[in-house]
Structures are given as C-alpha cells and as structure tokens.
Amino acid sequence: MNQSTLINLFWRRFKKNRLAFLGGIIVFLFFAIAVLAPFIAPYGPDGINVKHVLEPPSLSHPFGTDDLGRDILSRVIYGSRISLAVGFVAVGIATLIGIILGALSGYYGGWLDTVIMRFVDIMLAIPTFFLILAVIAMLEPSIWNIMIVIGITSWMGVARLVRAEFLSLKEREFVLAARALGASDFRIIFRHILPNAMSPVLVSAVLGIAGAVLVESALSFLGIGVQPPTASWGNILTIGKDNIEIAWWISVFPGLAIFVTVLAYNLLGEGIRDSIDPRLKI
Amino acid sequence: MFTYLLKRLLEMIPTLIGITLISFFIIQLAPGKPTDVLADLNPKMTPEARERLEKYYGLDKPIHIQYVMWLKRIVKLDFGDSFSTDRRPVWTKIKERLPITILINTLALVLIFIIAIPIGVSSAVRPYSLYDKITTVVVFIGFAIPTFWLALLLMILFGVNLHWLPISGLKSMGYENLSALGKIWDWTQHLILPMTLEAFGGLAGYSRYMRSSMLEVVRQDYITTARAKGLSERKVIYKHALRNALLPVITLLGMSIPGLIGGSVIFENIFSIPGMGQLFFQSVMMRDYPVIMGILTIGAILTLLGNLLADIGYAVADPRIRTR
C-alpha cells in the first residue's frame, strides 16, 4: 500500500470515531482562541479594575472577576496561550529525547541498551513531580524553564516505545536490504526504521500534551510555574483557592478549561490510535 | 522465594546510586554555591561560620570527591542540617513528616484497590454492555479532571456550602479537649477529602487496566475449561480469572507510587497537611538544599520499596515466580 491510501484509510476510520472527531474540533478551537486572544477577549488580561472586585458572573463579566477586578473570561482566554505553548514545546522536547535514546538503545543493543534502559529505570524511580519542583527551585520559575523541565522529565515512556519498535523493526527485510545497499547506520535509523515507528510515538505525543498541560497548571497553581501577572489557568486557580470561601467562580472556570483541553487531547490521541491500528484498541 | 527477593534487592543498588547522582547533579544546577543561600537567609553569618560550612560540605574539593563525601553521609541517613532558621538535622525533619504522608498514600492505595478492581472486573465480565459503556465514559472523564481542581470544587461543596467537612489541616480547634473517640473522628473527617482525592487520580487508570487485563484472561482456554467442568460463574471469575488478571495490576501498583508521592505535594499544600510533600514544597520555596536532597532521596527509596512490595505481591500471587 502506498502512502496516500494509508492516509485515506486512516482518515476514513478517524471520521467514523465521533468522539475523536469532537476532540480534534475542541483542540482546533483552543488553537483558534489562543491565536485570536486579543480579538475575542472582552477585556485586557491585566485590566485591573478596583470598582469591580470579586464580582460573580454577570452579562458584562460572564466568568466573574477576581480579587483585582480582572475579567476571568479574558484571563482564561489568554491562559490558553500558555497551556498550548507549554504542551507543545515540552512534548516536543520529550519526544525528541525519547526518540534519540530509544532508537540508539533498540538499534545498537548491547551495553548501550543496558546503560540507557537503566537510566530510564532510575528516572522512573524518582517521583517526577519532586524532580520537577527541585529543578525549578534551582532555576528561576519561568515559562521557558517549565517547558524544558517538563520535557526532560517525561521522555521515558517514548524511549521505551521507540526501543520496542526498533527491536522488532531492525530484524525486518527492508532494513537488511538497506544495509546490503550500503546505507549508513544513521540513514537506516532515521530514514528507514524511524518512519515506521512513528505512529505509536504520535499517539503518545498527543496524550503527552494532555499530561504536560496538567503538570504546568499544577506548577502554576503552586506558584512556581508561570508567574503572575501573566495569566495561566493554574495561577488563576491559586487566586480561586485564596478566595474559596467567597468566590467560587474563580475556581470553577479555569479548571473547566483545563479539564476540557485535557479531555480533548485524550479523545484525539485515543482516536488516532484506533484509526492507525484498530488492533491496538483496548 | 528468598533468592528471588535477594536478587531484586541487589538490583536496586545501582538504581539507588543513579538516583543519588541525579539528585546531586540537580543541586549543582543552582547558580553560585549552595551556601550562598544560607548567607542570604542569615545576614549575620560570619565568614568563619561560612568557611566551616563549606568545609563540611567539601565545597573546596573537586566535584567527584564532594559526591563521594555526600554519599558516605547519606548511607548513615545524615543529610546535614536544614538551612532554615531552626537549623535542625534534615532527617529529623523528614522523620516527623513521613508518617502522615505514608498513611494518606497507603489509605489511598487501599481505596483504589477496593473500588477499581470490582469496577474493572464487573465491566470486563459484561463487555460493551450499558454498564461497561457508562464506566468507560466515567473513567475517561476521571482521567482528564485535574485533581487539584477537583479538590477545590469539593472544598467549595463540602466545606464552604454544606459545612460537612473541614478543608484545612489535620485537627480542629479545641482538638485537645475532645475525648479519645472524638479525636479519632475529628482526624478522620480531616483525612476524608485528601485521601479520596489522592485515590481519585489512580482510580481511572486502575479500573481501566483491570478491565483490559480481565478481558485478556477470560479469553484463555483454562477459563473455558473451568466453565466446561461446571463451575459456577462466580467461582470462575473470582477464583480462576481474577487471580491471573491481578498480576499485571500488581506491577502497576509499584509503578504508581512515584505519582502518589508526587501528588502529596499538591494535596498537602491545598489542605495544609503537615506531611513530607508540604515540607518539600516549603524547602523548594526557600531553596533549602539539604532538605530538598534528602526528600528526593527518601522519595526514591520509598518508590523502590513500593516496587519491592509489588514484587513480593507478585510472588505471592504467582507460584511460578517463587520457584524461579
């Protein structure tokens, strides 16, 4: 089968999966919201207004206002930019590290495999959230550091996946053929084997974005993620927690945004998995 | 069985050394010397005191010697003294925080098990039934809910609106005047929300995993055999199938411990519970390096112990492993 029929097949299966389709649409919508934030947000994200402090949801402020009179809806809209950026960059870093280490481990085997897999075991034994907190404590909490730290602490799953794919693919005939033709190891790894190993990686990347969004919001919630006044869903929730006895709306809406985003990426990821290979469905 | 466990224990040593290397490396990421922070916190510190401290940590020696020095002290559980104003030994500080964190996490694990396993089993017994579909949807939603947000929602509902449960700390005001029974009840009330929420994070994954593992097992020939010889369905499922289906779930148990321990940072922070997670968070905010290092190492040791427990559970459930 050539490439285009494969994509057609994928697309036909994907379209039939209504939930996955819905996930895709929500992800797309959040993209649009993030890009168009300045045009759709009714107020500026930092528009402090002392006359409208802690107002419950109303027509002029659909999600209410926070302790500084800022419009929660506008802050949630701007916050989507942070979640999106952190999700993609962190997962990009994790996927890159995972692919390289997993490919080396699976392709070469031997002591290199032992060393890399031991390293994976060690990383998995340290509570990830502790590790992230410790690194952030050493560096300054900034959005770039958050992305990098989430990336370098979440590549282990990808590495294991890629390694498993390489272990089975490297014995296949097309690899033997490439080697017989004199292709270099580099070429065999990246041009011949890797493209065939990409579908599970893609699925885990989409699901990984959901995970990264959750971690970023948790860090920002604890006050060591994205720093105020920059709006992120997590740090709006911090204000929600501080005012929990008097202003429920600050806690409800940003969390809802996190929930819907994570749900959408999960649906999309599962949908892609089922469409690439229905046998993988559990 | 004994040799099996001994082997597993020995296998942990390189991992443990690797973990200490990583923790050590992280501290080196910090700009300047670790003792700079101490000097910042305590402006009255004399240069002599500072020098003494640098000598204690071996900061004047090359880095690999520093690591070996540190490792030697760690083996004796000597993580040095905290940088915070109380200057108490790190291990003492961790020791008094550890029990409550372990208690909440253990209770959460028990809760996960007694809820997730029946859900997983019952939806696997009737796959694609209405019940199965409903649990699938609920599980999927459970996966996506940020648990700290759920914590806030439950605090609003049960704490602020209904006044059923306390939302902060471990003891109410006037705790000292309560009777013994009253004290236990007060404590339980404070623990309900944190424990439920810790468990919630794992529920979705476990019940899902239990379901697929069970589906796998009921397809096996020995289950058909058990049915064919006329055993009741109850016996087939709970005696023959469940035991086998539990094996991969036990492995998952070991793997979920780092997540649980990590989660305690968030919950102990939200509910102001004086546990290890809260201590870690405070230390991170104050850059109290010795405590950070200590908790990283202890967290990893707890994880490895959890893995060992999972291995033991595995061996108990599966006689084939014991003889290996």
Q: Which residue has the tokens 């692919």?
A: A99
At residue A199 the predicted structure's pLDDT band, cuts being 50, 70 and 90, is confident
| Residue B81: strand pairing partners | B89
Cβ neighbours of B150 in A, within 8 Å: 255
Q: What is the mean pLDDT of residues B125-154?
A: 85
B295/A130 touch (CB, cutoff 8 Å), yes or no: yes
CA distance B61 to B50: 15
- Which domains, from first to last, does chain B contain? 2-30+79-323 (1.10.3720.10)
Instruction: Kindly list the residues from chain B whose CB atom is less than 8 angstroms away from the CB atom of residue A282.
Output: 208, 212
Interface pTM, i.e. ipTM: 0.83
Q: Average of pLDDT values for A119-144? A: 84
Query: Rounded CA gap, A12 and A236, in Å?
Result: 40
For residues B197-223, average pLDDT: 85
pLDDT for B46-71, tens place per residue? 777 777 777 776 666 777 787 888 78
The answer to whether B19 contacts A122, with C-beta atoms less than 8 Å apart, is yes
Cβ atoms within 10 Å, residue B184: 11
Q: What is the DSSP string of A61-123?
A: STT-B-TT--BHHHHHHHHHHHHHHHHHHHHHHHHHHHHHHHHHHHHH-HHHHHHHHHHHHHH
- For residue A241, give the chain B residue with the closest CA: B152
Residues of B numbered 103-132 whose beta carbons fall under 8 angstroms of chain A's beta carbons: which are they? Answer: none
pLDDT exceeding 90 applies to what percent of chain A?
Answer: 34
Neighbours of A15 (CB within 10 A): 12
**Identity of residue A41:** A
What the block records as the tokens of A232 is 């992120």
Find chain B residues with C-beta within 8 A of A214's C-beta.
146
Residues of A with a Cβ under 8 Å from any B Cβ are 118-119, 121-131, 133-139, 210, 214, 217-218, 221-222, 224, 237, 240-241, 244-245, 248, 251-252, 254-255, 258-259, 262-263, 266-267, 282
Angle at CA of residue A22, ends A16 and A28, nearest 5°: 125
Specify whether the backbone of B58 is left (phi greater than 0), alpha (psi in -120 to 50) or beta. Answer: left
pTM (2 d.p.): 0.86
Spell out which residues of chain B touch residue A251, defining contact as CB-CB under 8 Å: 149, 152-153, 156
Rounded CA-CA distance B217/B226 in Å is 12
Candidates A122, A133, A241; nearest CB to B18: A122
Contact B22 A126 (CB under 8 A): yes
Distance of CA B171 to the CA centre of its chain: 23
| Integer Cα distance of A123 and A121 in angstroms | 6
Residue A68 exposed, middle or buried by CB count within 10 Å (0-12, 13-18, 19+): middle
